[in-house]
Structure 1
Amino acid sequence: MPEHKAFVIVGAGLAGAKAAQTLREEGFDGPLVLIGAESEHPYERPPLSKGYLLGKEERDTVYVHPPRWYAENRVDLRLGTAVTAVDPAAHEVTLADGSRIGYAKLLLATGSSPRRLTVPGAGLDGVLYLRRLADSDRIKEAFSAASRVAVIGAGWIGLETAAAARAAGAEVTVLEAAELPLLRVLGREVSQIFAELHTDHGVDLRCGVQVAGITGAGGRADGVLLADGSRVDADVVVVGVGITPDTGLAAAAGLETDNGIRVDSRLCTSDPDIHAAGDVACAFHPLLGKHIRVEHWANALNQPQTAARAMLGQDVTYDRVPYFFTDQYDLGMEYTGYVEPGGYDQVVFRGRTEAREFIAFWLAGGRVLAGMNVNVWDVTDPIRALVTSAQPVDAARLADPGVPLTDLLA
C-alpha cells in the first residue's frame, strides 16, 4: 500500500461502512481501509433492540452491505482488529499487533460503549447489556428461557428490551431512577404516555428507585436489590443506563474532546486530516448554533456521507435535523428535532393521545423545536420544515388536525 495515500476508517459499524460507500461513490479511487474491532461485518444497531430481538427479522437483514461488497469495492476490511493509537504527526494508526498503517485522511467512527453498573453483583452471569449483535443474540436466548426479567433503566434501550421480554412471555419489572421513563428526553407531558404504554402491557414499572446491588446464587444473578431494602426477583437482568462515547484514541492523540470528539459542521476535528462521525462525534450544528452529540441511527447513517465528502475536499456542511424512531408493542414513533432537557416552554398535542395516535410538538417562544409522531405517518417532512423554519406558529392551529401542517408556514 502506498504510504500515506490511504483513507483509513476506524470503526466498522454503520457509520464506517457508509463512509466507505460514500468515498467510492464520490470517486475516491485510492486505497481504502476499514478497521473494526468486532469480527462481524458492519451492521445496523436498531434491529438489535427491535425486529431482530423480537425474532421478526432474520440475521442477514442487519448487515449494511453483503459481505462480498467490500472486496467488490476494493475496501480493505479488517475485522477483529483493534486500533491502539493514532499518531497525527506521522499520519499513522497503530494496530494491536504493532503494525502501522499510514493515512492521508482518517475518519474516527469509534462509536460508544454501554455504561456499566458498579454495584455489588454487577459481574454475575445473567446481567446483560445490549450494544453488539452478540449481545442481542444472548438476550434473545435468555428471554426465551426466562420467566422473570428485570430491566434497569427506562431509556429507549430499556423500554424496547422490556417490550421484547413481554413479547417473549416473561414477567417484566423496569427500574428507573427518575420519576418517569424518558423524562430527561421527552419531558413530563410525553413521558407519562410511555409509562402508561408499558403498564398497560403488564410491565411492573417502578420509578424513583435506586439499585443497590444484584443478588445471585452459584455465580448467577437471581434478583435486584433496591436501596430501600426491597428485592426484585429476576432470572435475567438487562442493564440500559446509557452509553459513553469511545474517545480514548482521539484524546490520546491530542484531539479536542468534550462529550465526544469535538468536530465542526464539516465533521472535521481539531486536526485538519482527521474527521469523526456517528455516536462519538460532538458536532457543531448550524441550525442550533452549538455543538451536540446525537446517539441515534440517523446520525450514524447520514453524518458519514458528509464526513466522506469533506475528506475529499468538498464544501459540505452537516445540518440535518436530528431524527430517531422506536417501536414498542403496537406503538410506532418518529421524533424529529432537538430539545435540551427543560429547554421548551410548551407542548402542543395534535390528535388523540388516549388512542396513542397523535403528534406532540415541543415549542419555545412559539417556535417548534421538535415534533414526535406516534402511530401517525408520512408527516416527518412537514415536521422537519416546521423545525428548520424557526418561524413562530399559532399553537391553536398547530393542535388542529384539520389544518394541514404544510399550511402553518404559509
Structure 2
Amino acid sequence: MTPSDPRPRVLVAGGGVAALEVVLALHERTAGTLRTTLLSSADRFRHRPISSYAGLAGDDGRTVDLARFVAEQGAGLVCDRLTAVDAAESAVLTEHGGRIPYDALVLATGASPREGLPGAITLGAPHDEAALAALTARVRAGTVGRLAVVVPAGVAWSLPAYELALLMRHAAPAGATAVEVVTAEVRPMAVAGDEFSDAVSALLARRGVRVTTSTWPDAVDEGRLWLPLQGAVEVDAVVALARSVGPSLPGLPCDAHGFVLVDARGLVRGERRVWAAGDVASHVVKQGGFAVQQADAVAEDVARHLGLEHLSAVAPHPPVLRAALLDGEDTLYLRAEHVDGTIRTAVSGTPLWWPPTKIAGGRLSAWLAAFQARDGGAAAGSELLGAGGA
C-alpha cells in the first residue's frame, strides 16, 4: 500500500482461464477496494478449450484484448513474464527487469506441455499443431489404417485422449481407420471413479474404439509402437497426451515436476501472502473446470486475509468435476463429486449444468458470452455444447 492509494495491492500472474477467473472473482467480491494488476506475458487471451483438436470439433477461437478486459474490472495490466518471487520482500521479478510489489500474489501461470511419447505427435503442444492437422486430413481421406492414442504414465486427466479417439473415429470414412487408446490407467478415467469410468468405457465400445489399459509404450519408430510386453505393434500414426511440467519458480516451494505446492485453499505452503490456482498448482488433476473452482476459492481466501471478508475457519469447498465429452455425434455430460465419503456420479446426454460450456462453472464463460453479444459477434455462445455440438 502507498499513502496516495491505501488500497491493498493484489497481483495476479498469468493470462489464461484461471488468471482471468481470479480477476473476475476478486472484482465481484471486493469491487473498488483492491488495486488489482494482471501480469501476463501476452496482451491477448484466446479462449480455446477444444481448438487443439485440429478442426475435429467446432471452435471459434475467440480472442480478448486483456487491456479491455482488465479495464472493465477496474484493474491494471503489465505485459511481462514472471521469473521469480521474492516472498520475503513481497515482490516479483520479471523477464524485462521489473520488480512489482504486492500485498497478495496469485499465481495462475499454467503449465507447459512436454513430449508425451518419443516419436508421437503431442496433443496440445503448439509445435505439433500442424502435424495433428495433417493427420486429421489423412484420417478424413481414409488413408490412416491404424491410429493409436496414448495416455502416458503420470497423466491423471486423460479425457482428451478418449475425446480425440472418438472424434478421429467419427471423422474417418466407415471402416477405414481402427482407433485404439493405449493408457497407463487401470481403466479409462479411473481418477474420476468407477461410474464415470464405466460411462466413458461404454461410449468407447459403442463407437468401436478399442482400449488397452495398464500399458505405457516406450517409443514410436518407423511405423511401430513399442510396448513393453507385446513388443512392436504396427501403426500408421500415434498421438500422445502431453506431460505437464510446472515453472519451478525460484523463491517458492515446488514439487519434483515444478508445480507450486499449495494447501486445499490454494495458499502456497509456508507463505502468508501467496496463492496459486490452475495448472501451476500441485493439484493432481489439471482440468479447466477444476481451475475455475480453484480460482474462486483463492479469491475468497485472498479477500478474507486482506480483511475484506469475514476471516474465519471456513472449510474448503469440495470440488465438483464436470466434463463434456464430445464424440463427433453427440455430447456426453458427466458430473462427479464427493458426498458422504463416496463419489456420486451423474451421466447424461443432455446438459447437467448451464450454460453447457466445455469449461464448466465460474464467471469467465458468462463474461465471454456477454462480451461477444456486446460486440455483435455472430458466434456468441458458440462454445455451448448440445446434441451434435461437435
- Cα displacement string for residues 282-337 of structure 1 (whole angstroms, at most 9, x for unaligned residues): 5xxxxxxxxx6543222222332332243232237441432221323235122221
Secondary structure at the residue paired with 2:168? Answer: helix
Does the CA contact (< 8 Å) of 2:182 and 2:213 recur in 1?
Answer: yes
Pairing 1:139–2:146 present: no
Distance of aligned partners of 1:75 and 1:281 in 2 relative to their CA distance in 1, 3 Å threshold = same
Does the CA contact (< 8 Å) of 1:85 and 1:95 recur in 2?
Answer: yes
Within 5 Å, which residues of 2 pair with 1:158-173? 158-169=161-172, 171-173=178-180
Residue 66 of structure 1 and its aligned partner are, at CA, apart by 7.5
Bigger Cα displacement from structure 2, 190-199 vs 87-96: 190-199
Pairing 1:295–2:286 present: yes
Q: 2:325 aligns with which of 327, 332, 336?
A: 327
Distance of aligned partners of 1:211 and 1:377 in 2 relative to their CA distance in 1, 3 Å threshold = same
- Hey, what does 2:386 align to over in structure 1? none
Percentage of identical aligned residues: 21
Distance of aligned partners of 1:209 and 1:303 in 2 relative to their CA distance in 1, 3 Å threshold = closer
Q: TM-score, normalised by structure 2?
A: 0.69
Pairing 1:14–2:20 present: no
Does the CA contact (< 8 Å) of 2:193 and 2:343 recur in 1?
Answer: no
Within 5 Å, which residues of 2 pair with 1:229-240? 229-235=231-237, 237-240=238-241
Residue 192 of structure 1 and its aligned partner are, at CA, apart by 4.7
Within 5 Å, which residues of 2 pair with 1:144-293? 144-146=137-139, 147-148=143-144, 149-153=147-151, 155-169=158-172, 171-187=178-194, 191-216=197-222, 222-227=223-228, 228-235=230-237, 237-240=238-241, 243-244=244-245, 246=246, 248-249=248-249, 252-255=250-253, 260-269=259-268, 270-281=270-281, 293=284
Q: Distance in 1 between matches of 2:125 and 2:326?
A: 18
Does the CA contact (< 8 Å) of 2:52 and 2:129 recur in 1?
Answer: yes
Does the CA contact (< 8 Å) of 2:14 and 2:108 recur in 1?
Answer: yes
- Hey, what does 2:375 align to over in structure 1? none
Unaligned runs of 5+ in 2: 153-157, 355-390
Q: 2:299 aligns with which of 308, 330, 355?
A: 308
- Cα displacement string for residues 150-180 of structure 1 (whole angstroms, at most 9, x for unaligned residues): 2111821110111222233254232123453
Pairing 1:90–2:84 present: no
One-letter code of the match for 2:310?
A: D
Q: Distance in 1 between matches of 2:263 and 2:207?
A: 44
Pairing 1:70–2:76 present: no
Distance of aligned partners of 1:32 and 1:193 in 2 relative to their CA distance in 1, 3 Å threshold = closer
Secondary structure at the residue paired with 2:211? Answer: strand
Residue 376 of structure 1 and its aligned partner are, at CA, apart by 5.6
Unaligned runs of 5+ in 1: 217-221, 283-291, 339-362, 381-410
Secondary structure at the residue paired with 2:218? Answer: strand
- Cα displacement string for residues 42-99 of structure 1 (whole angstroms, at most 9, x for unaligned residues): 345643467x853323111xx57877323444544345x4311000112111112222
Distance of aligned partners of 1:64 and 1:268 in 2 relative to their CA distance in 1, 3 Å threshold = farther
Distance of aligned partners of 1:17 and 1:209 in 2 relative to their CA distance in 1, 3 Å threshold = same
Total equivalences in the alignment: 324
Distance of aligned partners of 1:298 and 1:105 in 2 relative to their CA distance in 1, 3 Å threshold = same
